[in-house]
Structure 1
Amino acid sequence: MTFLKMRVFLYKLFTQPRGLRQAWLLGSDVVRIGPKVLLKHHGTVRPTEAFTMDFVRRQTHLPVPAVHDVFLDRRGHVYIMMDYIDAPELQAVWRRLSLAQRSAVVQELVTYLVELRALSPPDPNAVQAVDGGSLIDVRLGSEPFGPFAAVDDFHMYLGHTIIHDRLASNHPYAREALERCRHRTYRIIFSHSDLAPRNILYKDGHIAAIIDWEFSGWYPEYWEFTRTFDSSSWIIPEFWELFKAHFEGQYDDELVMEHVLSAEMTR
């Protein structure tokens, strides 16, 4: 099916009352169109996600679905047409895996991350999306934020200054960790930022795809570590422990900082 015919089909699919009977609904934001195509279409999807997927596919060996098309409807909602990957989420099969299989898949994931983290940023100081624009992350609310010219500006947005002002009275247990963070210099690293087991597709003993790149971008080097804790530790604690054990750096002080920020700041 050509892209023109596909777009005509999609128009009919979403404008005719029974259109959705022609497709398979996989969730609130994705529709499977035929055996090989997936359409992501909820109201907060941005073209940046498609740019990110294409960037990672071109620059690394990470298994990322190929993007075929990106377009907007009359309301300005973004649609991303990509490969459908016929594999279950790691979250769905985790309990059926042996300890050796669990360890192997996490090691494979971390190997991919080493490659991702080796990419050179276009600006070694800036916190930004792959296209140089704003970022999004559920950790920071529903609105886009940034870009930031420097890590200190990003930390200011996160609320680090507020936390340090309240440090003595509210968080004495975290004082040493927070002070160490305050005086560190961080490299800018490309991060997926939502490596929950639900975003890793698993088949035949290997990672079939890493999906949902909407939160990705150029961040301080600890960001992947702390965000993986937030997105996975309470769902599958064993996944987080294996991830932490194999990750190339340990950022326990930064994890304390994120916990304190979450306790103090709401958006």
Structure 2
Amino acid sequence: MTRFLEENSTTPVATNMKHWSDSTSNIFLMDRVPGESLQKIGGKLVWEDVEVLAEEVADYLVQLRKFTSDKLQAPDGSLMRDKHFSPESTLNFWTSDVDEWWARVESSIRDKSRKNLLREQYSLCIKPGGPFVLTNGDLNAQNIMVKEKHVSGIIDWERGGYLPEWWELYQLEEFENGAWGRALKRALAKRNVVPSEAAKTFGDKFLQLF
């Protein structure tokens, strides 16, 4: 993911990533991104500083959303793990095929009387053929690196890839309710990146599914 971004966008990411593995582990090595995380230094910044950072991240995100795919996948075509529409105890991958999704999760569904509703909502939330947009999927303050009050890097792209257009906004709404989340959502709204109906209702529709 970071290699694709380095070669095809201006998004600041960790560079020179190397990977190797053995029988027991996977090891990644990369250059250190300059600066400190927004989570670490956020208390030293005033609201106007946070707004500047949000504007910069929003610009990068809009740039990435121009890359689209008809499949839920990483830029290299590999599958992405689904930890949201599947039980966390199982290894499953994102899919836009509702029949494939239901076949793998049906045995874990708590209330099987919701079958028809869940299948319908899944098809509305994740439309077959997309288009799906390239995004980070985890723009929390810990993953925003800051130097001299500007974004010096965006790190931890393991959840990134081609995902539903509403996914990033849902993640922000769910996990970033503080100043950073408010500033970033406001900056995205200026760029006409706003929650779709799927994003607004996703949590309620799939709450306590398993």
TM-score bracket relative to the smaller structure: 0.7 to 0.9
Larger-gyration structure (1/2): 1
Shift of 1:184: 7.6
Q: Judging changes above 3 Å, is the alpha-carbon distance between structure 1 residues 106 and 255 closer, same or farther for their aligned structure 2 residues?
A: same
Letter in 2 for 1:133: S
Pairs within 5 Å for 1:154-173? 162=114, 165=117
* 2:53 aligned with 1:109: no
Distance in 1, Cα, partners of 2:5 & 2:200 = 30
Q: Please give the secondary structure, in 1, of the residue aligned with 2:51.
A: helix
From 152, 165, 183, the counterpart of 1:208 = 152
Q: Judging changes above 3 Å, is the alpha-carbon distance between structure 1 residues 204 and 143 closer, same or farther for their aligned structure 2 residues?
A: farther
Q: Which moved more, 1:253-262 or 1:187-196?
A: 253-262
Shift of 1:111: 0.4
Q: Judging changes above 3 Å, is the alpha-carbon distance between structure 1 residues 183 and 210 closer, same or farther for their aligned structure 2 residues?
A: closer
| Partner residue, 1:79 | 27
Distance in 1, Cα, partners of 2:208 & 2:58 = 31
Q: Judging changes above 3 Å, is the alpha-carbon distance between structure 1 residues 127 and 89 closer, same or farther for their aligned structure 2 residues?
A: same
Q: Judging changes above 3 Å, is the alpha-carbon distance between structure 1 residues 222 and 207 closer, same or farther for their aligned structure 2 residues?
A: same
Letter in 1 for 2:77: G
- Per-residue deviation, residues 120-151 of structure 1 (Å, max 9, x unmatched): 43xxx211122222213554526543353x47
Structure 2 length normalisation: TM-score?
A: 0.78
Structure 1 length normalisation: TM-score?
A: 0.63
* 2:180 aligned with 1:239: yes
Distance in 2, Cα, partners of 1:190 & 1:183 = 15
Identify which of structures 1 and 2 has the higher relative contact order when contacts are C-alpha pairs closer than 8 Å and 6+ apart: 2
From 62, 75, 84, the counterpart of 1:130 = 75
- Per-residue deviation, residues 169-203 of structure 1 (Å, max 9, x unmatched): xxxxxxxxx7xx56988531011101100001111
| Partner residue, 1:193 | 137
**Identity percentage of aligned residues:** 20
| Partner residue, 2:67 | 119
Distance in 1, Cα, partners of 2:167 & 2:37 = 23
Letter in 1 for 2:180: F
Q: Structure 2: any 5+ residue segments left out of the alignment?
A: 107-111
Letter in 2 for 1:146: F
Pairs within 5 Å for 1:1-267? 52-75=1-24, 77-121=25-69, 125-136=70-81, 138-139=83-84, 141=88, 143-148=90-95, 150=96, 162=114, 165=117, 181=124, 187-233=131-177, 237-247=178-188, 248-251=192-195, 253-266=197-210
| Partner residue, 1:31 | none
> Residue 163 of structure 1 contacts residue 264 of structure 1 at CA under 8 Å; is this kept in 2?
no
Q: Structure 1: any 5+ residue segments left out of the alignment?
A: 1-51, 167-177
Letter in 2 for 1:109: V
Shift of 1:249: 1.9
